[in-house]
Chains A and B, each alone.
Chain A
Amino acid sequence: MGQLAFFVNSDICIGCKCCEAACKDIKDLPLGPRPRFVRDFVGGEWKVDVTDPTLYRQEGVFIYHVSVSCNHCANPACVAICPVGSMTKDPETGIVSNDLEACIGCGSCYDTCPYKAPQILESDMKAYKCDFCKDLLEADEKPACVATCPMRALDYGEHSDLMAANGDACDVAPLPSSEETGPSLVLKLHREAKMDKSDGYSTSLYVSDR
């Protein structure tokens, strides 16, 4: 088996966060860590009509969502930096996972990951992240997030297969550049997708690091 990857169809994502809920549930996480996180990106503007000062016209107002977890990168920054070696990449599947027994919760993986995929739970000082639901895969089930998506906007498979079917897009605002770590992520971009972070803004009130 080659490198596993997620496919995210941002064009039909409604931001309902079932994937987030399923992810937290399968990992049995309390408040705080959100290993899969649904980003939103909003933009456009309103201009006063030239003839009527009470009338506003929208110019290119858009919103779209991108659901991202750990991307099981080709060059995982978390693996490189982990001081205790608890973060490892499986040579066969490419799955990056964290050995919770060994993890000391130092947060260096969180600090270095451009996607902020490893999430620290302070109550037990461990980094929680997507492990592709490998236990479910072994039991012939789909990853929890994929199995629950009401829009059928999430899928998974071998990275090469997903790229062959959907192209190789993995950059879009507000995600960080893929150059650094080589994410195993295949995006179908929203029809109003922007590449530049300065073309819009994210609106999660209490999360500003993603």
Chain B
Amino acid sequence: MDTKQVRKGIEAREGGGVSRRSFLKWSSVLAGAAAMSGVVGCGFSQAPPDEAGGGASEGRWVSVQCWSDCGSRGFNKVYVKDGLVGRAGTDDGIEDSIDCPQVRSCARGRASKYHVFSADRLKYPMKRKSWQPGGGENTNGEMRGRDEWERISWDEALDLVANEVKRIIDAYGNEAILMPGFVSSLFGQWDVGRMLNLSGGYMDNWGACSSGVWGSAAPYTGLLEDLNDRLDMRNADLIVLWGYNPAWSRAGLPTHFYEVCRRGGTKFISIDIFRNATSEALSEEWIPVRPGTDVALALGMSYVVLKEDEARGSALIDWDFLNRCCVGFDAEHLPAGADPQNNYKDYVLGTYDGTPKTPEWASEICGTPPDVISATALRIAETEKVSICMAPAPGRTTNASALPQTILAFGAMCGGIGKSGCVTGSDAGHTWLMEGKGLVLGGNIQGEPSWTTAGGKEMLVNPISGNSLSRFTQTPDGMYTRPTQGYTRINNNEMWTSILNGTYTVGKGDIRPCPTKMLWHTHSNCMNQAPGTMLAIDAHRKLEFVVCQNMVMATPAVYADIVLPVTSQWERLGDLAYSYREQILLSSQVIEPMFEAKDDIWIAEELAKRLGIDGEKLTPYPLVQERFNQIAAALVVEDDGETYVPLVTITQEDIEKRGVAGIPQEGRIAIDQFEKDGIYRVPRREGDNFGHIVLKAFRDDPEGKPLATDTGKLEIYSELLAEDLNACGWETIGPLPQYKPAIEGYEETFSDWGNKVKGEYPLQLATIHGLRFAHSTFGNIPMLREMFDHPIYINPIDAQTCGVVTGDTALVTSKWGKVIRPVLCTDVIIPGVVAITQGAWVDIDEATGVDKAGCANVLVGPNLCAFGHMAFNSCIVKVEKWTGEVPPPDALWPAREIFKED
């Protein structure tokens, strides 16, 4: 079979793919399943609090929250009429313009109602049948994920949880309770975490998830997770999107912003493992690169630019900037006492190590042809106004320690830092963090108050895990910063191995016994979303107690002993939340709590009563007051771009009407209007005072405006980075960035690198952000499964070698686990690399041990590196044709509905 047939596998095999007949058959099955969820049919579902029982009335739009942590934030609303929820809508409150765009939602945001009304909403508290409290044999831990469930009352459930918490703390101490949170750990666990912080604390986790090495290592270099203001980006002549696909990873406005730049004449090139959707819309050129080899590519490009600069009499490189603002580029600009041979330029040229980092050297590693490396490097260097925007993805590899320094060096050489139209850096992982300070301030993140939420409750320090203050900002930085002396946390990569092997790493030479006896799952689906899901399952079966509170039967609920049903954000009061830096959203309650679901804070309060914890400190004031406080505390910038004033106008009447305590204030928008609109936008125009150019002040005056780095300059050479990274105990680096092969990287796909003989796992796997999931959120929505396929993407050349065609089911195996997925052969991915979107809810077939859902972290292992970030893009696999039973298409999978409705 030639590669053409491989690509068109379905037609080649069956002469026509799915017939209308079978298509119709699925639709009828799903119509039935969906009808049970209550959304489809009449088109309206569930009474909102203030309209229940109302007769035929005019409908109204209610602004609603989309609480997933996708990295972006659209505006969503739903039409509510006669007590029922109808169609979804988005921002249409202003005329759409390029300077003041509507904040339109994505397909997932629109699908929120299917999430709220999904058939697998948890209805009642549940207990795993063969689990008994008290530890020991009666836990029957091996049955986790295999057992049956029994419905219990809230009182039973809360008593069981409280008694187990008491028993475990008495026997082993508070550190025996591991309550992992990902992004939320940055902010201090709310609700039940806050409750435990009032009574001895709990073990928190640490280590970057989405930011990879950018969040932890880049601050040492002075390179920020930040980009120039979107209006300034229009001044760029060339924008390099490196591993950067906002069309999939930051759905909503960001790709539109870049498209506006393109309309104005900005050129784009994309460097990535695949011709991604963003490059499809923007870029005239795609530069393919293998995962985990971006440092090699950047070194190869640096070599080209250095050599060409030499030929042109130093006229190509931005020497002025390098000399004034950077440390470590050449022997003349090193910190006192450093070895003069240890500089970037000589490393690239191979002056002392005998290996010039030529395009040929780089090409062997990164897979980009040498002539393409040269041409790309020169194009970037020769462009006056050039920006290099890198997503965190290339930093989510096991050899990423050198990445920020290398990208800094290359960007600085090319003149791409600190000027209009010029920025080099990462996009910060979340759109509301980039492009400078917020023009509106306040609000929650993912439905929870954070350290930056004005008007929120006083944050409490976890007595076990502390706050891990950032060395550079002195703010809590529990994700990226190793726990402060006297505190301890378990790194994400060791969460499961510590339980299985008995020890965890606190620092270099500081290995301690693992204290974990109990897992408390809140809203971080870490079993599914941290590397090593099969290890997670094994680890869960060894514990004394696992409790999970969730709104749906997500992975941690499947492996828990007690499951507590919680409300969605639509069943709560609604909240104030960031959108982009120019917008802030105010959502409202849509419906009453479904079934027996309760708010997390209610669970915390009930447990506090049983554990003798001070409820006054837990919730000092009612939720309605908290929401009001946050609205009142929100700020908006004045036209000067410096002064912040209250956003919301509140009268005495407003305060009395809401039954809250407060002081009237003057702002930009009346509180009732804000509630009705659900959104406030700061208008923008060219030449306003809200612009932002990263590192401009420093570039203009490096002595007068030094950076927070060790030397006050941009550090291509960073002794402090090496010192702090090495102190974590997982990797040893020097102060100068150097390419080293990744654990489970390209080099390891060979059994004999010299002769290029492939080994047992010949393909690299990249785990990408797709549109079906926002991480694991929305993993249960049939409508999104129907719209967005979740295949194993493979180049036709590799498919041919592996003996699979499009439409086949493939078995994908790494040393950590096995998944099956439909095959999609596509030329948009570089040969030698396969990709899978992350977020599917693991679904193990007990007979074969194979994951049928295609959970990426079944394949990705918890390899230890750097500051303990999770290296989702370092994984090697083999792909072969699956000969077992083929499951139905994902859209037709049954919901995880444990109990039918009463």
Contacts and interface: CB of A to CB of B under 8 A. Distances in A.
A61 B286 contact: yes
A42 B830 contact: no
Contact of B27 (A61, A121, A148): A121
Given A14-B278, A21-B783, A25-B88, 6 more contacts: A21-B110, A42-B827, A56-B831, A123-B27, A150-B74, A206-B891
B795 interface: yes
Contacts, number: 191
A12 interface: yes
Contact of A56 (B106, B259, B797): B797
Interface stretch (B188-196, B653-661, B680-688, B786-794): B786-794
Interface string A53-66: 11111100111110
A151 B16 CA distance: 33
Contacts of A21: 107, 110-111, 783, 787
A205 B789 contact: yes
A201 B807 CA distance: 14
Interface in A158-210: 190-191, 201, 203-209
Interface in B811-840: 822, 824, 826-828, 830-832
A110 B367 contact: no
A150 B10 CA distance: 32
Nearest to A107: B20
A148 B892 CA distance: 27
Interface residues of B, number: 80
B255 interface: yes
B247 interface: yes
Contacts of B363: 52, 55
A184 B798 CA distance: 42
Interface of B: 3, 7-8, 10-11, 16-18, 20, 23-28, 30-32, 34-35, 40, 43, 74, 87-88, 90, 92, 96, 104-107, 110-111, 247, 251-253, 255-256, 259, 262, 275, 277-278, 280-282, 284, 286, 288, 363-364, 367, 369, 756, 771, 782-783, 786-789, 791, 795-797, 806-807, 822, 824, 826-828, 830-832, 889, 891-892
Contact of B106 (A62, A121, A150, A203): A150
Nearest to A207: B18
B20 A12 contact: no
B74 to A, nearest CB: 8
Nearest to B790: A205
A31 B782 contact: yes
A122 B255 contact: no
A120 B284 CA distance: 40
Interface in A19-70: 20-22, 24-26, 28-34, 42-46, 49, 52-58, 61-65
Nearest to A45: B827
20 contacts: A11-B281, A13-B281, A21-B787, A22-B110, A25-B87, A30-B27, A31-B27, A31-B31, A31-B782, A55-B363, A63-B826, A65-B280, A150-B251, A150-B252, A151-B259, A152-B259, A205-B806, A205-B889, A206-B789, A208-B17
B809 to A, nearest CB: 11
A43 B827 contact: yes
Interface in A111-137: 120-123
Nearest to B372: A57
A147 B90 contact: yes
Nearest to A59: B827
B281 A12 contact: yes
B806 A32 contact: no
B23 A32 contact: yes
Contact of B826 (A15, A28, A30, A42): A42
A24 B30 CA distance: 14
Most buried by B among A55, A107, A149: A55
Nearest to A49: B369
Nearest to A191: B284
